[in-house]
Structure formats: C-alpha cells, structure tokens
Amino acid sequence: MTEITIRFDPKGFSECLQGARGIVDSAAQDISARASGNAVKGTGFHVESTDEPRFQDSAYGVTRPIARVVANDDATSAEEAENKILSKAVHG
C-alpha cells in the first residue's frame, strides 16, 4: 500500500479559482440578460464583478472571483420583490 500526503496550497487554489473568472462572469451575464428580458417595469439588471475572500480564504490571504446580478433601478428591484424575475432567471 502506498501512502500519499496531500498538502493544501491556498494560493494555488486561489489561482485555480481565478482561472474560472470567465465562467463566473459569463454565467452572471446570462442570468442578468434573462432577468432583464423579464423586466416590465424597470430597466433590468447589470453585473458587478469583484474578488473577495469566502469561507476560509481570509485566513490564507487569498480571494476568489464573485459576480453579483444587481437591479439597475428601484422599479426593477420592486419587480423582483413582487414577481421574482431574477430568481426565475437563476432557476430557469
């Protein structure tokens, strides 16, 4: 039997996650477009992308790509609250 030792490299893991930035941004843009297409009262949604620590990231001084789909205006926000247009876009 061979014993293998695996050492977690937080910075390497962070680099792998950074490589997924395009996938994260693309998925958020797709959701934003679907939700904006469902908006009747407002001007729709936009994507805000950033790098933030999640889970134990801050303990290792690393971050990962995060994308948020945000309402452009109060009317769109109200429509999400009333009709869940963003939630429906996320869930299909």
pLDDT at residue 56, rounded to an integer: 86
Pairing outcome for strands 45-52 and 64-71: antiparallel
**Is pLDDT at 15 greater than 80 in this prediction?**
yes
**Is pLDDT at 92 greater than 80 in this prediction?**
no
- Give the pLDDT confidence of 52-72 residue by residue, as tens digits: 998 888 888 889 999 999 999
Is 51:66 a contact under the CB 8 Å cutoff?
yes
pLDDT at residue 10, rounded to an integer: 87
